């Protein structure tokens, strides 16, 4: 069943429906709070919602309120498409999206309707707005996301692994890709395996690991017997926890490298991980950077930080919302908060950081021909020590913007 939460908060005052709708714009918000990606959806989704409520409480977009209509579609593509059609009929101007399957399914819809999407899918397939790369299946002129693509995240992982292997005297490291046969873990598979081959890895056939939790000893034995030194994890949440626990049981000696959704303090603690490598595109909760002041204010208004500290997924949600909000502000000065105006605003400027979020949101640049906001990836190591996650930054990888990498 679709669950809908409508929130219009203006200047901290409860307004009547007629007043709220007098000067507002509708933004659809797809979330997964009950489906297979709820493990991270329940922290990212509130980041979007809380940021928008905070902006509304402080005057909105120069007086224009954002009406956020949030639907838990439980990670089901048909439900996402139905929600999109409903919102479009009601005049939606922008969409905060979620999964790879639904975001990719909506590429042609949003391009035709000129409705910009800021998704939580970082699929490389969304980064080619003009079909510049002949291998791109669909041009995605109205798709944006904050952070490096899944493909670039995985490329950064294998680049780090190549250096790590070299420092350990291994001149022919073995790499294996793991994940479900699903659009999300599949999105960077080809790109990442190709780059691993370029860097001199012996690249094995990928190993299928289901998206949900389970007993994965069979997959772990396959990893162990393959001789892999480095294994990329394309899944998230309970599946990752199960895989790490199962592999510990069979004694697999491999370094695990995750995608951006597969690594956070909750996963590390639940799995008992040691030296677990994962990327990030924002600081962690409590970091000593100027923009954390605004993050704390947003969380305090919502109460999100009262019971447990948010993950870095929550912080990325705030960044996604604020890039949209800044595009709305610019669009309003161009004559109105419309899709084409927001698109133009997103494709203007270089190394942009939303005001007030300095040190939190990475400098990002989108252009008319390249929707890779950033190709910079921070690589971290996390270990569970005495029941707590100890995370340390290892390095930052700045990948080139190769033309043959755009779009996948």
For the domain covering 151-281+376-405, report its CATH number: 3.40.50.2300
Per mean pLDDT, which range of 55-59, 61-65, 302-306 is the poorest? 302-306
Phi, psi of 302 (to 5 degrees): -90, -20
Domain with CATH 3.40.50.2300 in the chain: 3-148+285-346, 151-281+376-405
Separation of alpha carbons 45 and 33, rounded Å: 8
* Alpha helices (H) in 263-364, listed in sequence order: 265-271, 292-302, 312-333, 339-346
Determine the 3-state secondary structure of 237 from DSSP.
helix
Instruction: Determine the longest span between alpha carbons in the chain, in angstroms.
Output: 69
CB 52 within 8 A of CB 46: no
pLDDT value at 11 more than 60: no
What percent of the chain shows pLDDT beyond 90? 92
Residue 302 banded pLDDT, cuts 50, 70, 90: confident
State the average pLDDT for the chain. 93
What percent of the chain shows pLDDT beyond 70? 94
> Does the domain made of 3-148+285-346 have the CATH classification 3.30.1490.190?
no
Give tens-digit pLDDT for 211-236. 999 999 999 999 999 999 999 999 99
Residue 305 banded pLDDT, cuts 50, 70, 90: low
In sequence order, what are the beta bridge partners of 64?
Answer: 61
Verdict on whether the full-model pTM lies above 0.95 = no
């Amino acid at each position: 069943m679709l669950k809908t939460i409508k929130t219009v908060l203006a200047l901290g005052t409860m307004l009547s429906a007629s007043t709220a709708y007098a000067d507002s714009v509708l933004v659809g918000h797809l979330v997964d709070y009950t489906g297979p990606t709820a493990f991270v959806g329940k922290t990212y989704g509130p980041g979007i919602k809380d940021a928008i409520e905070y902006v509304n409480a402080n005057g909105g977009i120069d007086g224009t309120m954002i009406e956020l209509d949030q639907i838990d579609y439980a990670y089901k593509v048909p439900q996402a498409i139905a929600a999109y059609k409903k919102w479009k009929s009601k005049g939606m101007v922008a969409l905060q999206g979620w999964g790879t399957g639904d975001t990719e399914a909506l590429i042609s819809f949003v391009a035709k309707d000129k409705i910009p999407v800021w998704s939580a899918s970082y699929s490389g397939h969304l980064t080619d707005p003009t079909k510049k790369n002949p291998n791109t299946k669909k041009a995605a002129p109205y798709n944006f996301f904050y952070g490096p693509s899944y493909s670039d995240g995985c490329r950064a992982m294998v680049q780090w692994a190549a250096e790590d292997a070299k420092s350990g005297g291994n001149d022919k490291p073995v790499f294996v890709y793991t994940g479900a046969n699903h659009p999300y873990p599949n999105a960077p598979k080809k790109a990442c395996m190709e780059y691993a081959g370029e860097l001199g890895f012996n690249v094995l056939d990928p190993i299928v690991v289901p998206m949900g939790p389970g007993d994965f000893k069979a997959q772990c034995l396959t990893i162990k017997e393959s001789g892999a030194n480095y294994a990329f994890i394309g899944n998230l949440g309970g599946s990752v926890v199960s895989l790490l626990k199962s592999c510990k049981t069979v004694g697999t000696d491999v370094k695990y490298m995750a995608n951006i959704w597969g690594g956070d303090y909750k996963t590390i603690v639940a799995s008992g991980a040691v030296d677990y490598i994962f990327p990030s595109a924002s600081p962690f909760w409590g970091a000593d950077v100027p923009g954390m002041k605004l993050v704390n204010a947003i969380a305090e208004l919502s109460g999100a930080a009262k019971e447990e500290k948010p993950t870095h997924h929550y912080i990325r949600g705030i960044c996604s919302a604020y890039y949209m909000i800044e595009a709305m502000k610019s669009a309003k000065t161009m004559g109105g908060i419309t899709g084409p105006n927001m698109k133009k605003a997103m494709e203007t400027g270089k190394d942009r950081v939303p005001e007030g979020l300095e040190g939190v949101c990475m400098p990002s640049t989108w252009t008319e021909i390249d929707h890779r906001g950033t190709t910079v990836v921070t690589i971290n190591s996390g270990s569970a020590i005495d029941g707590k996650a100890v995370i340390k930054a290892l390095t930052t990888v700045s990948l080139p913007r190769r033309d043959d990498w755009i779009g996948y």
